[in-house]
Structure 1
């Protein structure tokens, strides 16, 4: 009926359903403060000063119980071969148990799928009403506080640091990775590959700067490795028992080998790679995103 639209630069606009606006005008109740109140509450069900005919006519998705949302979907599903889609809207106060009950009811009613959305469950949503907006505002405050904490933990660089430089052969040429340490822990990373002015050199420098920023801000090296390990590239090369898929994957390999030798970090981009074909034992080739065996035709993608 009336909602707050979140647009660029953090601005908020109150927009009103044209039919609701027309009905309110006919009743002489179309004042901006009323529309803002509707947007704040997300419903007019409890606004006793509005005429009963308007309150009973303009019922919103949030006024309808989740069970009746699902019954509407089930009514259409019974006469349709394909899966019927409908969002079951839940208030911000909905619990995990409430959502579980909807899933079970969807199964009993014969629905082929179900979509639920709890108002305010995302840090940002395009349309927000009532409690959902309050929840997002609280999240913004928490984010700001968290950002301040991270900034406060950012360590300035000492005048003198020591470390090591390792040469790593990548599919794009030899990369020289320099890791400087403080108290035996990685503090900053410099990745150099190719000649100055080339795009690949710029990309390697950018990755090094971001990894350094994370390390100097207190992010554990394990988390850094997990984020960049397994990122695929167009020219992977074999290294030991696996592949170095890209420049970030090579940086992760060096950091893991040096600082995490007693544990295996599961990558958020986890890819299983093998040097030999599981069918015939011949070497595999990485082509167009797939591991292919030229000897027997074995292929594994993704």
Structure 2
């Protein structure tokens, strides 16, 4: 079942018009949420990021779009898909209604919510070989538009094809200043001695929820120094660890970049603390 504008419909019966602006112009924002036994992980952060993204995109936020309303919509969906007692991933997509080619652009929105079952309730450390490379064909623009979750992802798509064709697990994306911004599917963190560093949102990095939670966790660990600052590609081969964060995997350690190989000690420690934080809400 899929939630289409508040109605539960079978997947094969769900459809959008070809003039839908999300399809026609990439005029869409979305939020991906991990649900464990009916509990929405970090729901407040996800909700407020979705509202912020809609405001940045100048979408009309319906009066009904309260945290309680959307949470109930999600619960109704996962129950209809028999996922109430299973780990699941839920995606809320909000698009602007059709119009804007020969007609004025509207601010009114529509939305969909979809769900799928996950294999594990909480995050597990993946210690498999994980090699990455720089993607330099195209750049992420620094600024606030790059920080939101939208379906304007041409650079990520082309980077994914480059990674697949060249045998890499992932790629690092650069901004117009040639600084490392993020990976194809998440935020990037660099560890050197006791310093943990991640690119700032102003560089064009996605305002990731897992990133936000890790920043809070790291600040509470006295032996680590946290820095939100631009990362030059030259710093990558001097680092002790690199790891990627997103809602799907939590923390993914990088094992190799060019001739440099990395450990995963800090990654494992932070992943343990992230799981504790998720359990406690």
Give the TM-score normalised by the residue count of structure 1. Answer: 0.22
Report which of the two has the higher share of strand. Answer: 2
Report which of the two has the higher share of helix. Answer: 1
Give the TM-score normalised by the residue count of structure 2. Answer: 0.23
Point out which structure has higher relative CO (alpha carbons under 8 A, 6+ apart).
Answer: 2
